[in-house]
Structure 1
Amino acid sequence: MSVSSLFEPLSLRHGKPMPNRLMLAPLTNRQSRPDGAPTDDDEHWLKLLGEGGYGLIHTCAATVLAGGRTFIGQLGIHCDDFLPGLTRLAKAAGAHGALTSVQLHHGGYRVDPELGGIPLPASNGLVSGIGAISVEQIASVRDSFVKAAVRAAEAGFDGVELHGAFGFVLSQFLSPLLNTRNDQYGGDLENRARIVFETINAVRTALGADFQLGIRLSVDRHGLKVEEIRDVVGEIMRQQQVDYIDLALWDSAQRIGQGSKEGRKMLELFTSLPRHGVRLGTAGKIMSASRASELLEEGCDFVLIGRAACIHPDIPRRIAANPHYVVPSLPVSEQFLQAQGLSTPLIDYLKTWPDFVKN
């Protein structure tokens, strides 16, 4: 499959089609104010990306509750006071034709109390001195995702993505290691996935047929079982309430490390599922035009550009101009990143990544 396939439009079940198959992954950038209000750096970053030619651009993970804060400088969408700033972000990201989305996030048991986070563990024993959240609290978390999605629509975004990865609030319920409840939200997979489907259905009901909805899911780590996540993805596709599923693989080429399917490509487990019009894509070390196009050959409908976008924010335009494009070798210098237009807070964050920024 040629690189030109990356620039074919992709229809979605709800709302407008993606202009191309290159989606910006939701990237932590630590640029927002301590209370979560967006800054000029947030707007500038999304403006750069908007000019870069992506088919869909996600914000970084944005808190649906103030107590869900997990990262320094994390964007918030938990407060109506943020709507003017969020509106500017939507315009900046979408000014050149990209679809726009807010990734909705709550850290669950992984929030940072030093940043004002209030842990919400699925089970007893995950956080010292804090017991499992109640059924009433679970309903409140679900409703906070819905309210945040309504704010995203009011701000002018085309959709939202639910963060269901990395052991955060939705993901922790899917994990039999992290979720040892014995009520309707624990036990078998149907119960552990209940909050995920309740949230999907509640957002879809609140926002209607033209609003786009995606979900990011981890497939392993944090106690997740690959076969169970495959079943969850299959059911999400069957119900047809979301537009796309974003698989948060640590490497798009990774293979299953254990079990009956050991050695098989992880991605194959998911691309072989009946999709019912729901689109499927993955992130994970996509550093060249050829690797992006290979993933379409392997069955993805779209690909997510993550770390590479921090090196060249305009990767889609670079691929369009050069089908042999490859991301520059890491590490890169701080001066290089400054020349790409990255802010000081974002560069400082990238310095915490192993072998990304030269000393």
Structure 2
Amino acid sequence: MMSSELFQPFRMRGLELANRVVIAPMCQYSATDGIVGDWHLMHVGQFSVGGHGLFIAEATSVEPRGRISLSCPGIWTDEQMAAWKRVVDFTKTWGNTPIAIQLAHAGRKGSSRKPWQGGAQAPEDEGGWQTVAPSAVAFDAERPAPHALTVAEIDQIKQDFAAAARRADQAGFDAVEIHAAHGYLLHQFLSPLSNRRDDAYGGSLENRMRLALEIFDVVREAFPNDKPVGLRISATDWVEGGWDLADSIALAQALEDRSCDFIHVSSGGLSPEQEIPLGPGYQVDMCAAITEATEIATIAVGMINDALQAETIVRSGQADMIALARGMLDDPHWTWRAAKALNAEAAYPRQYERALPHFQTMAAPKDPPPK
């Protein structure tokens, strides 16, 4: 029987992944003033012992206005960094899965209430703030127009990303993923639907890509050279006239020139007019196109819930890694189950090893108990 490709190791710079299973970032809306707490210790902790290739922590803002919600984490202060370090230290002591952080800025989609509170933009008297964006174009009719960033303010956000990358290293994270997807700030600069600027950051594709590339450069410079840095992108807006796959390939090629380590290929999130053809692996073809066009490691994501499906994606060369988010929330032990289905192995913590079949066999009595 052929060995599983999904459970082969993968290396990015100095980081060795035991397999190709990635846990994609999942917002928890459970921080206080940007500070993670016991919920995150439990949430991240349970995944850190699950034998996965990589866990990517949720979107973590580089400045106060960059949070998606009032309850999203940040890393713009040393106190926030120390809180993340507590979580990361736990994963290093007890876990078997390396941990990355997703550095983010929500832009015009920030200042939101929690999803279970409706998700609408919170006003300032509820702790909300004036959102920012490349242009004063609202996300939808329910949200006020954001403030259009000046060049000086853009420069400050670049500095915020660099400072966040340095704090991420201090906290002990093994890698950084820069969030340029799902309609958040960097995606807003990339898409002509949200970027109406007429300066060096707007207009042509080259200009619209400028901020994402500049932020990659400053993060790469600020983060240790032996630790990977990659981007999560939306490969298409799913709206005619918006950001599309050809644009994403151009961005990937520009990132390849900068020695980007991985691209995490998602889609959508920029416009309420999007029409997404949801179905198993619905984004994999776009990931495969980027894999074909570049040498950058790629992560496919989006309704990949079956072990054989994941194995096929990696074995066929459509992606180097696969990622799950909601599927992992539904089944935090997905990687263990996939390994069994594919006759492979994934790491267990010593405390759980007696659940493995060969340990159960060893523990079984060889002779029947006396009567």
TM over 0.5: yes
Following TM superposition, by how much is the alpha carbon of 1:85 offset from its aligned partner in structure 2, in angstroms? Answer: 1.4
2:68 alignment partner, SS class: coil
Q: Deviations over 1:271-292 (max 9, x none)?
A: 21131xx211111001111111
Per the normalisation by structure 2, the TM-score is 0.79
Following TM superposition, by how much is the alpha carbon of 1:211 offset from its aligned partner in structure 2, in angstroms? Answer: 2.3
Whole-Å Cα distance in 1 between the matches of residues 107 and 331 of structure 2?
32
Whole-Å Cα distance in 2 between the matches of residues 3 and 40 of structure 1?
39
In the alignment, structure 1 residue 200 sits paired with structure 2 residue 216 = yes
In the alignment, structure 1 residue 213 sits paired with structure 2 residue 229 = yes
Q: What residue in structure 2 maps to residue 6 of structure 1? A: 6
Q: What residue in structure 2 maps to residue 246 of structure 1? A: 264
Whole-Å Cα distance in 2 between the matches of residues 213 and 251 of structure 1?
29
Task: State which structure, 1 or 2, has the greater radius of gyration over its C-alpha atoms.
Answer: 2
Range 292-301 or range 282-291, more displaced:
292-301
Query: What RMSD, in angstroms, separates the aligned Cα atoms of the two structures?
Result: 2.2
In the alignment, structure 1 residue 266 sits paired with structure 2 residue 294 = no
Per the normalisation by structure 1, the TM-score is 0.81
Q: What residue in structure 1 maps to residue 177 of structure 2? A: 161
Aligned length: 312
Range 301-310 or range 220-229, more displaced:
220-229
2:263 alignment partner, SS class: strand
Whole-Å Cα distance in 2 between the matches of residues 129 and 280 of structure 1?
35
Match of 1:293 among 308, 311, 335: 311
Q: Deviations over 1:43-68 (max 9, x none)?
A: 01111001111111111111111111
Q: Deviations over 1:269-316 (max 9, x none)?
A: 2121131xx211111001111111111024211011111100111211
Following TM superposition, by how much is the alpha carbon of 1:118 offset from its aligned partner in structure 2, in angstroms? Answer: 3.4
Query: Does the CA-based 8 Å contact 1:69-1:116 persist in structure 2?
Result: no
Query: Does the CA-based 8 Å contact 1:290-1:324 persist in structure 2?
Result: no
Q: What residue in structure 2 maps to residue 312 of structure 1? A: 331
Q: Deviations over 1:234-288 (max 9, x none)?
A: 2212321x21110014656337xxxxxxxx943332121131xx21111100111
Range 109-118 or range 289-298, more displaced:
109-118
Code of the aligned partner of 2:47? L
Whole-Å Cα distance in 2 between the matches of residues 155 and 15 of structure 1?
17
Code of the aligned partner of 1:102? I
Whole-Å Cα distance in 2 between the matches of residues 182 and 22 of structure 1?
42
Following TM superposition, by how much is the alpha carbon of 1:132 offset from its aligned partner in structure 2, in angstroms? Answer: 1.4
Code of the aligned partner of 1:73? S
Instruction: Provide closer, same or farther for how the CA distance between residues 5 and 110 of structure 1 changes in structure 2, counting only shifts above 3 A.
Output: same
Match of 2:64 among 63, 66, 74: 66
Whole-Å Cα distance in 2 between the matches of residues 304 and 2 of structure 1?
23
Q: What residue in structure 2 maps to residue 322 of structure 1? A: 341
Whole-Å Cα distance in 1 between the matches of residues 35 and 323 of structure 2?
26
In the alignment, structure 1 residue 280 sits paired with structure 2 residue 298 = yes
Whole-Å Cα distance in 2 between the matches of residues 117 and 251 of structure 1?
36
Listed as ranges, the gaps of 5+ residues in structure 2 are 112-120, 268-277, 345-371
2:108 alignment partner, SS class: helix
Whole-Å Cα distance in 2 between the matches of residues 73 and 324 of structure 1?
41
Query: Does the CA-based 8 Å contact 2:180-2:234 persist in structure 1?
Result: yes
Q: What residue in structure 1 maps to residue 21 of structure 2? A: 22
1:162 alignment partner, SS class: strand
Listed as ranges, the gaps of 5+ residues in structure 1 are 256-263, 326-359
Whole-Å Cα distance in 1 between the matches of residues 235 and 187 of structure 2?
10
Instruction: Provide closer, same or farther for how the CA distance between residues 168 and 3 of structure 1 changes in structure 2, counting only shifts above 3 A.
Output: farther
Q: Percent identity?
A: 28
Q: What residue in structure 2 maps to residue 97 of structure 1? A: 96
Q: What residue in structure 1 maps to residue 47 of structure 2? A: 49
